[in-house]
Copies of this chain bind each other. A is one copy, B any other.
Amino acid sequence: MIAILKHGASDKQIENLCTWFGNRGLSVHLSKGESHTILGLIGDTTRIDTDLLMGLDIIESVKRVSEPYKSANRKFHPEDTIVDVGGVKIGGGNFQFIAGPCSVETHEQICEVAGRVKTAGAGMLRGGAFKPRTSPYSFQGLQGEGIRLLEEAKAKTGLPIVTEVMDIHQLEYFDNVDVIQVGARNMQNFELLKELGKMSKPILLKRGMASTLQELLMSAEYIMAGGNEQVILCERGIRTFETATRNTLDLSCVPLLHEMTHLPVVVDPSHATGIAKLVKPMALAAAACGADGIMIEVHNDPKNALCDGAQSLTPDEFDDVVSCVNAIREVITK
């Protein structure tokens, strides 16, 4: 970490500051220029709060040289993390399709979709039981009953199941869930993240719609700091001024996250765009830039889906996406 002092900082002030850093276990490298004095701080600065430093009178600006995330940092863990979901692997060259309906609705619906996406090549089944909805008047999901239906679909198809948790209290229903999803709105629900850090199940962590990549990694760090290192990151679109799509899918985050971290990165083109006909081209693009997996909404009857039908593919459309994505994967892994 580097701190640039204001012109006019007195020797006494600088000495006090150096002592303050010393007390926090950092060694200080002082470099006086004509107009500015620069302090280089050496040691573990992850616990130093840059905002706090900015509050000191004599400091003009502060710049981190090291990233504030450690467990998630590729620098300290060069090889790719491979998350193993009951034998289905993701990351480190292993690619997976995670497919299923926005909401679990009935036994017939979820089992039919599960069978279809498995045949098409999906490695995991997704489906919402606890649904985060902007309006208290919208359908809030089948909740515990929804998870029971997912378990039935898993029993029938063998597909591991991925579903979202919205609150610590709901975790009691998640015993047989294979991957616990944290939604974009809960990416910084730190109490939930801490709880998930104590579990031994893989976590699929969605990027918040106004979260930077560093913040996403800091949220992964919350989970990993608790001991659970099986985190899958998911890009699902960020909020921008553009209104033609629901969110703006930020695909350049895929290769960038692969530089910053060793964790697998999947892309959800369904939620990012909110428009079914954009799902295929954006799934291909995600595969082309190196995503480790793609998460797609598939519904056997999108027109009558209880939620987000507008962005769901039919099973036939999903078949087509899978075969095209696989062809793209062949090109880029050759």
Contacts and interface: CB of A to CB of B under 8 A. Distances in A.
A259 B286 CA distance: 20
How many protomers of this protein does the assembly include?
4
Nearest to A244: B213
A302 interface: yes
A285 B33 CA distance: 39
A51 B308 CA distance: 6
Interface string A294-334: 00000000110111111110000000000010011001101
Contacts of A34: 42
Interface in A87-106: none
Given A136-B222, A218-B134, A278-B252, A191 B210 contact: no
A158 B232 CA distance: 49
Interface string A223-244: 0010000000000001111111
Given A135-B221, A240-B241, A284 B332 contact: yes
Contact of A253 (B210, B244, B305, B306): B244
Interface in A147-179: 166-170
Residue from A252, A272, A278 with most neighbouring chain B CB atoms (10 Å):
A252
B241 A210 contact: yes
Interface stretch (A60-68, A78-86, A113-121): A60-68
B55 A60 contact: no
A57 interface: yes
A311 to B, nearest CB: 7
B138 A49 contact: yes
A200 interface: no
Contacts of A166: 189-191
A331 B321 CA distance: 12
A165 to B, nearest CB: 10
Contact of A189 (B42, B186, B285, B288): B186
A133 B286 CA distance: 31
Given A167-B189, A288-B284, A303 B57 contact: yes
Nearest to A133: B190
A22 interface: no
A19 interface: no
A77 interface: no
Given A244-B214, A328-B328, A60 B49 contact: no
Contacts of A244: 212-214, 253, 256
Of all A-B residue pairs in the complex, the 9 with the closest CB atoms, nearest first, are A210-B210, A55-B310, A55-B309, A167-B191, A288-B288, A285-B285, A281-B289, A284-B288, A285-B289
16 contacts: A29-B33, A36-B65, A55-B276, A68-B135, A134-B218, A136-B190, A136-B225, A167-B192, A209-B210, A242-B250, A242-B253, A249-B250, A251-B282, A252-B273, A285-B286, A288-B328
Interface of A: 2, 4, 29, 31, 33-36, 38, 40, 42, 46-47, 49, 51-52, 54-57, 60-61, 63, 65-66, 68, 132-139, 166-170, 185-186, 188-192, 194, 208-210, 212-215, 218, 221-222, 225, 238-245, 248-256, 259, 272-278, 281-282, 284-290, 302-303, 305-312, 324, 327-328, 331-332, 334
